[in-house]
A = this chain, B = another copy of it.
């Protein structure tokens, strides 16, 4: 299979976008996120736990508890979520899997891939997630 993000990361991104698209202050139980996004409840719960450790979301235990963003959406970038879950290795390693790929010893597609990868990185870090609210709502139709 060819992917860019792991499933964990996809789910994490979806969940954070979802929380940002709703009222940013409201506390979302894992169950609701699970239902809205079709993600196994305990799985998204676990992912959000790890994002809690990274300081991107906060959790509130007990009745009427759940998860909420730890910062305002205007302070969260997609790349932060990717970094927290998948790490940034893929932005620094050879796409063909060759060791020591560098401008000195480039793999056959080193230059072209490097450019695309940089653009992907820029895309993920250019805007904060409050800018995505509209599109996320449109996609999820809460």
Residues of A within 8 A of B (CB): 1-7, 9-11, 13-14, 17, 38, 78, 82, 86-91, 95-99, 101, 105-110, 112-113, 116, 119-120, 123-124, 129, 132, 135-136, 138-139
Q: How far is the CA of A82 from the CA of B113 in the complex (A)?
A: 15
* Copies, count: 2
Cβ–Cβ contact A89 & B2, under 8 A:
yes
Chain B's nearest CB lies how many Å from the CB of A20?
10
Q: How far is the CA of A131 from the CA of B2 in the complex (A)?
A: 24
Which B-chain residue is minimally distant from A141 (CB atoms)? Answer: B105
Cβ–Cβ contact A96 & B1, under 8 A:
no
Q: Given the known inter-chain contacts A132-B108, A135-B108, please indicate yes or no for A1 contacting B89, CB distance below 8 A.
A: yes
For A38, the chain B residues whose CB sits under 8 A away are: 99
Instruction: Pull 24 A–B residue pairs with CB atoms less than 8 Å apart, ordered by A.
Output: A1-B6, A2-B4, A2-B5, A2-B87, A2-B88, A2-B89, A2-B90, A3-B4, A4-B95, A13-B97, A17-B96, A78-B109, A105-B138, A106-B138, A106-B139, A107-B136, A107-B139, A108-B132, A108-B139, A109-B124, A113-B120, A116-B119, A116-B120, A116-B123
Which B-chain residue is minimally distant from A108 (CB atoms)? Answer: B132
